[in-house]
Structure 1
Amino acid sequence: MKKFIMLLNEELKRGAKFYLIALVGLVVLEFISVVYEIKSYQSNVEEYMRVDRISQMEAIRLAGGPLNFGDATSYFQYIIAIAMMLILLLAFQIWYRDWFGESKYIYRLLMLPGKRTAILMSKLTAVILTIASFIGIQWIVLLLSGSLFKWLMPEDLMESKRVFGENRVISMFYTFNIADTFIILLVATLVVSFVFLIILIERSYRKRLAILHVVMDVVLLIVPLVGLVYFFENTHFLYPDQITTFVIGYFLLYFVYVYWKSIRLLNHKISI
């Protein structure tokens, strides 16, 4: 445990600069996007009124109806997608930076006393904590964006009945639902763990054999899952809620497999 805490602290300190720069940039983009959507909508309404010489109500109808918060945060889903790409980049970088450079930091890690499991877990925990903190900050940004929306948007142009409209991505973040958060973290953990596995496979085998291992692991994830879900849906063997539970259970089981294989590669294939 002491080794794990030491390594985790080191990983968090090494990735802090990258994380803070990315986070500040994404948050600024989100606030700018809200202001842009509001000003753009108001400009369109005013343009309709000026050019077509119509009432404000008619101009609002031509502009697509009153603006709701979901419309004002429409760019958030793209910014969240950028954040996901940065997380994947961090997952690759957190391993490869240890192999490159004059000191080859990975060799110092491998020579530390104790089990190598701590190395894998510290890196995985560092990325998951990064994701969890982003979700928490995203909640704060959404709350502040809601206040900004109400402050900048005139009531006669604003639709307050629907908070998010059809924006399911933002709705999932905004619900503050523990189950939704758990699912997000579960999927994120599986994806990051699989990225770690790919890196360890690439470091353990030659190119062709590494590609074969990756393909086999992808097939093991997709083919049984798709086949079983298709079978359950067509035979009605399970209810929809039970199918969802099965999918979550399958992901958990696959995570155990990915974790086991990663530890096996780290212990037996990667040498100093």
Structure 2
Amino acid sequence: MNNYLKLVNFEINRIAKLFAVLLGITFITQMIGVIVKSRQYMNLANESIFGEMTQAQFLEQVGQMSFLQVAKSLWFVTPIALCIAGIGFYIFLIWYRDWIGKNTFVYRLLMLPTTRLNIFYAKITTILAMTFGLVAFQLILLPIEMAFMKTLVPDEFRSDMTVKAFVASLPELNIVIASSIGEFFLYYGAGLLVVSILFTAILLERCFRWKGILAGIIYTGLAIAVWLLPIFLHKFVLNGFFYPMELLVLEIGMGLIVLTASIWFSRFLLMKKITV
């Protein structure tokens, strides 16, 4: 356990700069988005009211401004997409970086006095920690952004909403910020499974190089097919035989099987196929 924690700490230190950059981009871009959208709305309100409209007519035709108008803009969505892309990129970089350079660092990792599977666990823990950190930062940032919008838009022109109501109103955001403990385990469990499959595919490529690329693609396809097998059977073979809860239980069970298989296969590759 101690060696595993040291590896996790080491990996997190390596990711710290990228993590800080993503946090900075998210904060600056979204705060600019609040300013831009708030000013656009208030400029429109001022032009309309100082023209031929009354305030009541403007509110009736245009409506009050809510934080949803900020959230649906590129200012808000782009940094979130960038963070997701950054995590996706780092899933590969966290392994391939160890093979880059004259003094290949991965060999030092493999010679550490600990089971090689701890390397796998440490890297997947780092990906999860990075994901949770970005999500937590966004949750902290939301009430700050909403409070900032209140200083830019007067009460009579503004429709306030809670963070919970805001998240519930955006289905896309619900995947990142789960609204219940059950959804949290389902969404992030599925994410953990996908990362473990990709890690195994990367190790196949590292072990067998060009042949490993094909093997990794085949393994990824087979793993996903096995995971989704109950859904395929339910829709195309059994004509909707399972109840929704039964289908969910089957999917969770198949996911656990694929996750276990990926961990076992990765251990085999690390122990038997990658040599120092």
TM-score above 0.5, yes or no: yes
Say if 2:196 and 2:262, in contact at 8 Å, map to a contact too: yes
Name the CA distance, whole Å, in 2 between partners of 1:175 and 1:98. 33
Q: For residue 56 of structure 2, what is the aligned residue in structure 1?
A: 57
Aligned counterparts, 1:157-176, within 5 A: 157-160=157-160, 163-164=165-166, 166-171=169-174
Name the CA distance, whole Å, in 1 between partners of 2:170 and 2:177. 11
Q: For residue 12 of structure 1, what is the aligned residue in structure 2?
A: 12
Q: For residue 123 of structure 1, what is the aligned residue in structure 2?
A: 123
C-alpha displacement of 1:124: 1.0
Identity %: 27
Name the CA distance, whole Å, in 1 between partners of 2:275 and 2:17. 30
Aligned counterparts, 1:95-244, within 5 A: 95-160=95-160, 163-164=165-166, 166-171=169-174, 177-207=180-210, 209-226=211-228, 228-232=230-234, 235-244=239-248
Say if 1:221 and 1:254, in contact at 8 Å, map to a contact too: yes
Name the TM-score, length of structure 1 as normaliser: 0.86
Q: For residue 258 of structure 1, what is the aligned residue in structure 2?
A: 262
Name the CA distance, whole Å, in 1 between partners of 2:142 and 2:259. 31
Q: For residue 71 of structure 1, what is the aligned residue in structure 2?
A: 69
AA paired with 2:72?
Answer: S
Say if 1:204 and 1:265, in contact at 8 Å, map to a contact too: yes
CA distance 1:262–1:10, shift in 2 (3 Å): same
The count of aligned residue pairs is 269
- Does the residue aligned with 1:132 lie in a helix, a strand or coil? helix
Say if 2:202 and 2:216, in contact at 8 Å, map to a contact too: no
Unaligned runs of 5+ in 2: none
Unaligned runs of 5+ in 1: none
Name the TM-score, length of structure 2 as normaliser: 0.85
CA distance 1:265–1:19, shift in 2 (3 Å): same
Deviations 1:70-99 (A, max 9, x none): 222224343222111101122222111111
Name the CA distance, whole Å, in 1 between partners of 2:18 and 2:172. 25
AA paired with 1:109?
Answer: L
Aligned counterparts, 1:79-94, within 5 A: 79-94=79-94
CA distance 1:113–1:225, shift in 2 (3 Å): closer
Choose between structure 1 and 2 for higher RCO, CA contacts under 8 A separated by at least 6 residues: 1
Deviations 1:32-68 (A, max 9, x none): 22222222222233344456x22233334544x3222
Greater shift, 33-42 or 158-167, is seen at 158-167
